[in-house]
Structure 1
Amino acid sequence: MTASTPSPSRRRRTYTAVAVLLAAALTASLALTLDGSGDGNTTRRDAATAGTAPADPGPADESLLALARRDASDPLAVGRADAPVVMIEYSDFQCPFCGRFARETKPRLLRSYVEKGVLRIEWRNYPVFGEESDRAARAGWAAGRQKRFWEFHDVVYGTERERNSGAFAAEKLVAMAREAGVPDLDAFRADLESDEAGAAVERDAYEGYGLGVSSTPAFLVNGRPILGAQPTETFEAAVDAAARAAEAAGK
């Protein structure tokens, strides 16, 4: 007897249910893994607004360093695959603080570090606000199939939208893809609804849940954590420190 393949809608429901359970189970580990403290009372809102960035985080955890994929063909990454510093970003397209980072900080990091070969940024879809977040994540992946992920990213974050208001309905996502220059919108629609899109988003999300991430945005800079849309200077300091450490280690 051959097992049946779950439908995309059933896969999404299963993914959402498991994600919620994992998020609840791993809330305590968020504090231990990402800010080094034993206080498990960090809330999604607190982390997103305030964030944490230890001044002296100590040596990077090798298991966190290993999360960098360094895949030169990854359309959801920007920067040299062999850059000495990799920043992994766990974000949700409905998160206003992710939008703040995208508009205010990321352009400076691109100019100052990515274009100079120092930094690589790897995006991870981390939908935490429900079905519309999941749909937007799948749409980002679909845009990436046509090498337009970052253009789609900029279109989405270029406008602040009310969360779970229908702003990420399928045809509105198609309109965003059109604005981002996605050339084949029929293929985009098909990719958006595909099992492959769901699997890609699940892979990213489970990676974050495995770390105990319960808020967005969250970052790892060469394995060292930063939570929240902090001032650009915080990220610059983290990248500079990671680059110095990599140079000292001969990487």
Structure 2
Amino acid sequence: MPKNDNKKSRNIAIGAGVAVAAVLLGVASYTATKPDDSTGTVKEEAAGAAPSVEEQAGVYPELEKLARRDAEDPLAQGRADAPVVMVEYADFKCGFCGKFARDTEPGLVKKYVDEGTLRIEWRNFPIFGEDSERAARGAWAAGEQGRFWQFHEAAYAEGSKEKGFGDARLKELAKDAGVKDVDRFVSDADSDAAKAAVKKDQEEAYGLGATSTPSFVINGRPVSGAQPDQVFDQAIEAAAKSAKDAKDAKGRKEADK
């Protein structure tokens, strides 16, 4: 079968298999950031209003296929073969994404990524207009020089989003992130490749029914909003246990052969 047909079949299979999950993720994430009825623009509300892991209960095997596990992916951190993958759909203009990046994600990296349990795969999901799109392309361009996570940290620093993401500001962030070739960064950020990469991530999120940021999928379990640390701890540890149980069961089965 031709390569394109393989890709098309995979996309159709994933799309058909996650219909229920898409509704779940879409409804849950709608409470985190939603359109303002009076203006039609996106308005952020308390992320705490989003359902907990228990309320979102459900692990969807089809959603696990969203993990790319590409060891060369500059927009990911953690072992490619980690038992748990958290796919994160986020926007650099999103206040709650910034809160998660500053208050929760560093702890998850220290507790789970550094010791090999968790892999975090970032997806650009710009929903707040042109500034969001520029920031997403800039983040991708920083990744081309191995500085995505440093750019991520600079862009999500307290007060950063209020400065906007115009061309001059993106250059400042690139320098703050330690990007060595700023001229290349500018060129990469405006390239067709950057636009295509951002569009791919964005369409993936919309295909899942995500309507707000941040939205997450943790080994097939959707979680929406900048939830309390314990929600992520619970989801990651449950996923790690399930992965271990599955591995142990496979080992016993092979030993019995």
The two structures have a TM-score, normalised by structure 1, of 0.81
Which AA in structure 2 matches 1:171? Answer: A
Q: How far off its partner does 1:34 sit?
A: 1.8
Equivalent-residue separation in structure 1 for 2:190 and 2:134 (angstroms): 9
Alignment pair present for 1:241 and 2:238: yes
Distance 1:59 1:82 in 2: 23
1:54 match: 53
Distance 1:228 1:42, change over 3 A: closer
**Residues 41/83 of structure 1: CA separation in 2 closer, same or farther (3 Å cut):** closer
Equivalences for residues 1-251 of structure 1 within 5 A? 32-34=23-25, 44=34, 45-46=44-45, 48-55=47-54, 60-161=59-160, 167-250=164-247
Distance 1:41 1:185 in 2: 38
Q: For each residue in 1:133-155, what CA deviation from the matched residue of structure 2 results, as whole angstroms up to 9, or x when unmatched?
A: 00000000000000000000000
- Partners of 1:29 and 1:209 in 2: CA distance: 14
Alignment partner of 1:32: what SS?
Answer: helix
State the one-letter code of the partner of 1:33.
Answer: L
Aligned length: 221
Q: How far apart in 2 are the matches of 1:41 and 1:167?
A: 25
Distance 2:107 2:31 in 1: 32
Give 3-state SS (helix, strand or coil) of 1:108's partner. Answer: helix
Letter in 2 for 1:189: V
CA drift of 1:243 comes to 0.3
Residue 61 of structure 1: how far off its partner (Å):
1.4
Q: Which residue is equivalent to 2:3? A: none
For residues 22 and 191 of structure 2, the distance between their equivalents in structure 1, rounded to whole angstroms, comes to 35
Q: Is the 8 A contact 1:89 1:122 kept in 2?
A: yes
2:217 alignment partner AA: L
Alpha-carbon deviation of 1:51? 2.0
- Structure 1 runs (4+) deviating above 6 angstroms are 28-31
Distance in 2 (alpha carbons) for counterparts of 1:33 and 1:141: 29
- Residues 142 and 192, structure 1, Cα contact 8 Å, conserved in 2: yes
CA distance in 1, matches of 2:117, 2:136: 27
Q: CA deviation at 1:50?
A: 2.1
Structure 2 unaligned runs (5+)?
1-18, 35-43, 249-257
Residues 1:72 and 1:55: Cα distance change in structure 2 (over 3 Å): same
Could you tell me whether the CA contact under 8 Å between 2:217 and 2:223 is conserved in 1?
yes
Aligned-pair distance for 1:60? Answer: 2.1
Paired with 2:130 and 2:90, the residues of 1 have a C-alpha distance of 15
Letter matched to residue 193 of structure 1? D
User: Is 1:48–1:229's contact at 8 Å kept on the other side of the alignment?
Assistant: yes
Q: CA deviation at 1:57?
A: 5.4
CA distance in 2, matches of 1:56, 1:145: 38
Could you tell me how far 1:55 is from its partner in structure 2? 1.6
Going from structure 1 to structure 2, the CA distance change for 1:95 and 1:49 (only over 3 Å counts) comes to farther
CA contact (8 A) 1:155 1:179 kept: yes
CA contact (8 A) 2:79 2:116 kept: yes
- CA distances 1:12-63 after superposition (whole Å, capped 9, x unpaired): xxxxxxxxxxxxxxxx9787232788xx888624574522223275552122
The AA in structure 2 aligned to 1:50 is A
Residues 139, 151 of structure 2: 8 Å contact kept: yes
| Aligned 8 A contact 2:59 2:222 in 1 | no
Gaps spanning 5+ residues in structure 1: where? 1-27
SS in structure 2 at match of 1:121: strand
Cα distance in 1 for residues equivalent to 2:65 and 2:21: 18
CA contact (8 A) 1:50 1:230 kept: no
